[in-house]
Chains A and B, each alone.
Chain A
Amino acid sequence: MSNQILKLPEQAQKIIDSYLRMPINNKVIACPYYTNLKKIRGGLRVFLGKAPAQEIINEAKFISQKEHLDLSQLSEQELYRFMVEHNLGIDCSGLAVHILKEVYANFPISDNKTKKINILKKIKIVPFYKNPLRYLISKMRPLENISVRVLANDKNSFEIKNFSNIQPGDMMIRKNLKHIYLIVRVEKENEKVKKISYFHAPRPKQKDYFGPGVFEKTVILEKGNLEELAEKMRDQIIIRRLNFK
């Protein structure tokens, strides 16, 4: 019986930790959820739900400085509320891209060889001939223009048909292309998937939700197939992997 545990590279794990444990003054909170529902263009990425954790922390401190508010006096719940009310947080695709960026920064191509892949340069967002202006904008600000739909596009990723081949860094994409989960840990037993951990930033269902926005969850599988996973996650998903190696 051979057991196999597959994990994300250390750098990618650090990115996950940075969102899960954001130190703001004397508190540590998980990053809230925020997405650019108003479709604001040209704003700071920190207000578009696409910024790295450190930028979100800096912005929270900056806003508190401007508003003469002592963040250390706030409870964790109030701190969440403060961040949500100031449109600070991360959305699912933003979170996935930041982690995938590190996954592919030193991507192993053989046992002792790695390749540096800058996914922000590789991901195709919009073709030049379709919309030259948006093409230029997407080249300047790729992060803000990568959505779940872009990641799920056949030009950027391919579907993993064989469930036992899944690995950390693969994307679990909701079939309606509205949400993305990122696989961060896979445990296999005799090539059969037994445990999957995923990380994601789901949109809160309640209107006034002031809790954590990013979550890591683990699903234990018995049959080890996609149907069982989808059932346990209560979601319709497909698994895809970025296809530039």
Chain B
Amino acid sequence: MNVLNYSILSTTLLFVIISGIIAFALAPTLIYFLKKFGIKRTFEMGSAKGIGERLQKTGTPIMGGLLIVLVTLLITVIFNWDQRFTYVPVGVMCLSAFLGAWDDIANVFGKKRRVRSLGQTTKLIKIHKNKFYRFWLIITLPWTAFKNAFHIFSPQPSRGVLPHEKILLQFTAGAITAWWIVFKLGEEWLYVWLPFDGEIYLGYWMVPIIIFTVIFLANAVNISDGMDGLSGGGLISAFAGMAILSYFQGNLAFSILNATVIGALIAYVYFNVKPAQFQMGDVGSLAMGSLFAVIMIAQNRLLLIPFFGFIFILEIFSVILQTFWRYGLGKRLFKMAPLHHHLELKGWPEGKIVARFWLINIFMVIVGLWLALH
């Protein structure tokens, strides 16, 4: 552990400053263009459209997360293009950002789409007059089944990227990360760090674990992005924790990468606090969630994810539990999921929820860092 490496510390802080300045300078231009092209939140978006002060948010530009992605990409490519450590995390971030951007744009401009159910397909196989089409339906039946498997809980028809398309791209992002970590970084990444001087050999089990973690965290951050400043603030503390961790490990490439993200996030949150001038959108939340997962795994601190990303894990678990309660037991566990909507419906003001979630995450990052020292 390299506690007294002032050179890394100084460089890290410098990149927070550089990234912050660039992001602050770019933000008004981005807001201008998002408004100009009409990439704005519509009333229809999201399940929470009617609650709290949602109505006032209609018309706010989305895709503000592009600011973080662009600044991170720009600075990393120019100053921190390290073949061993940074090109895959940034690549995965870009892939997730592409998926998010597609979703955001399709949500605003796209048409509503529907997935044909398995029942309808089998009926068509029996009765369609064109035998070539019937044959086509038979050979594509597994694909129809796959699509339907991811549409059980989603409303139909819907705009945006459909769940099966989303999961495929996220799986690709996870698979790239797994390939890089398991086959490129070296054998020591097949051992998972445990606190108090322990480690456990997982071997190639790391592959599914990494894929799952990337998909899980990308969606966790995505779900948490439901209030002004909520996910942005949580991400600042999470990346700050990771920056300190990389500083402890003496890894300059990750220190700079984390610092770059922090700087961009500070500028983003400045414009995103209530009343937000733009919202992160899927482009930012999916990208930041994946990047968070990739860096945590690459820093070999998989077990600290629940601490560094505490609020994101809390939010996604509230959705998982709510889904189980709803479909399994027919009741609601929370008034509404994710948790921040539940608290909003309980009467907590938005600012209070956001501030408390930030503080909780900061506290949990400190707990995680303490564990990392042992």
Given contacts A66-B50, A68-B50, contact A141 B345 (CB under 8 A): no
Tell me, rounded to whole Å, the shortest Cβ–Cβ distance linking A71 to chain B.
14
Task: Tell whether, in the assembled complex, residue A65 and residue B51 are in contact, meaning their CB atoms are under 8 Å apart.
Answer: yes
Residues of B within 8 A of A65 (CB): 50-51, 345
Q: Which residue of A lies closest to B326 (CB)?
A: A44
Of the candidates B50, B51, B328, B345, which one forms a contact with A140 in the assembled complex, judged by CB atoms under 8 Å apart?
B328
Q: Is the CB of B330 within 8 A of A48?
A: yes
**Which B residues from 300 to 350 make CB contacts under 8 A with A?**
326-332, 335-336, 345
Chain A residue with Cβ nearest B332: A44
Q: How far apart are the CA atoms of A43 and B331 in the complex, in Å?
A: 9
| Interface of chain A residues 51 through 65 with chain B (CB within 8 A) | 55, 62, 65
Q: Indicate if the CB atoms of A55 and B327 lie closer than 8 Å.
A: no
Least CB separation from B324: chain A residue? A140
Per-position 1/0 for A23-49, Cβ under 8 A of B: 000000000000000000011110010
B330 close to A50 (CB less than 8 A):
yes
Task: Name the contact of B50 in the complex, choosing from A42, A50, A67, A141 (C-beta under 8 A).
Answer: A67
* Contact A55 B335, beta carbon cutoff 8 Å: no
- Inter-chain contacts of B329 with A (CB < 8 A): 140-141
A100 in the interface (beta carbon within 8 A): no
Total interface residues in chain A, CB < 8 Å: 16
B50 touches A43 (CB 8 A): no
CA distance A48 to B327 in the complex (A): 12
For A143, list chain B residues within 8 Å (CB): 330
Q: Which of A55, A67, A68, A141 contacts B328 (CB 8 A)?
A: A141
Q: Is A76 on the interface with B (CB-CB < 8 A)?
A: no
- Give every chain B residue within 8 A of A44 (Cβ-Cβ): 326, 330-332
- Chain B residue contacts of A140, Cβ below 8 A: 328-329
Expressed in whole angstroms, the minimum distance between the Cβ of A158 and any Cβ of chain B is 29
- Cα distance A160–B59 in the bound complex, in angstroms: 66
Judge whether B330 and A45 touch: CB under 8 Å: yes
Q: Which chain B residues border A42 with CB–CB below 8 Å? A: 327
Contacts of A170 on B, CB cut-off 8 Å? none
CA distance A43 to B49 in the complex (A): 20
B88 to chain A, nearest CB (A): 40
In angstroms, Cα B328 to Cα A162, docked, is: 41
A111 CB to nearest chain B CB (Å)? 38
CB proximity to A under 8 Å, residues B101-117: none
Chain A residue at smallest Cβ distance from B328? A140
Interface string of B344-364 (1 = CB under 8 A from A): 010000000000000000000
In the complex, residue of chain A having the shortest beta-carbon distance to the beta carbon of B47: A66
Residue from A50, A55, A62, A67 within 8 A of B345 (CB atoms): A62
Kindly list chain B residues whose C-beta atoms are within 8 Å of the C-beta of A48.
330
Q: Find A141's partner among B49, B51, B330 (CB 8 Å cutoff).
A: B330
Q: Which residue of A lies closest to B327 (CB)?
A: A42
Q: A91 at interface (Cβ–Cβ under 8 A)? A: no
CB distance from B106 to the nearest CB of A (A): 25
Q: Does A187 contact B (CB under 8 A)?
A: no
> 0/1 per residue, A140-173, Cβ < 8 Å to B?
1101100000000000000000000000000000
A87 smallest CB distance to B (angstroms) = 14
Interface string of B121-165 (1 = CB under 8 A from A): 000000000000000000000000000000000000000000000
Interface residues of B (CB under 8 A from A): 49-51, 55, 326-332, 335-336, 345
A residues lining the B interface (CB < 8 Å): 42-45, 48, 50, 55, 62, 65-68, 140-141, 143-144
What are 23 A-B interface contacts by the 8 Å CB criterion?
A43-B330, A44-B326, A44-B330, A44-B331, A44-B332, A45-B330, A45-B331, A50-B330, A55-B331, A62-B336, A65-B51, A65-B345, A66-B50, A66-B51, A67-B50, A68-B50, A68-B55, A140-B328, A140-B329, A141-B328, A141-B329, A143-B330, A144-B330
If A44-B326, A68-B55 are given as contacts, then 14 extra A-B residue pairs at C-beta distance below 8 Å, sorted by A number, are A44-B331, A44-B332, A45-B330, A45-B331, A48-B330, A62-B335, A65-B50, A65-B345, A66-B51, A68-B50, A140-B329, A141-B329, A141-B330, A143-B330
| Closest CB pairs A-B (n = 10) | A66-B50, A45-B330, A42-B327, A141-B330, A140-B328, A66-B51, A144-B330, A44-B330, A67-B50, A44-B326
